[in-house]
């Protein structure tokens, strides 16, 4: 979802978009929040919505992973 330009994802849409159980997703979601990879915040217009957002640390890690993947993809394979 981040690569598609979506900045704020609701917990409901996150659970609906993944093919794993809600319990499993919530377990990992709690862990990622505890480890400062994700933050939760209420919507500005509708306070009933809770959004999941990447932290700056998570964004940097994602950018590094994308750069690494791009390098791996462009380097010639030596046999």
Query: Can you tell me the distance from the alpha carbon of 15 to that of 26, in angstroms, rounded to the nearest whole number?
Result: 8
- Please give the class, per CATH, of domain 9-74: mainly alpha
Q: Is the pLDDT of residue 20 over 80?
A: yes
**Could you tell me the CA-to-CA distances from 13 to 51, 71, 74 in Å, in that order?**
9, 32, 34
* pTM for the predicted model, two decimal places: 0.68
Q: Is the pLDDT of residue 22 over 90?
A: no
**Burial class (CB within 10 angstroms; exposed 0-12, middle 13-18, buried 19+) of 48:** exposed
Kindly report, residue by residue over 24-51, the tens digit of the pLDDT: 888 999 999 999 999 999 988 888 888 9
Domain residue extents for the chain: 9-74
* Selection from 5-9, 44-48, 73-77 with the highest mean pLDDT: 44-48
Q: Outline where 1-79 has alpha helix (H).
A: 11-17, 22-34, 56-74
């Amino acid at each position: 979802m981040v690569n598609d330009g979506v900045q704020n994802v609701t917990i409901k849409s996150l659970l609906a978009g993944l093919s794993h159980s809600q319990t499993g997703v919530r377990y990992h979601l709690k862990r990622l929040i505890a480890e400062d990879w994700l933050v939760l915040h209420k919507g500005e217009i509708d306070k009933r919505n809770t959004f999941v957002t990447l932290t700056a640390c998570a964004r940097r890690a994602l950018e590094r992973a994308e750069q690494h993947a791009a390098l791996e993809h462009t380097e010639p394979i030596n046999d």
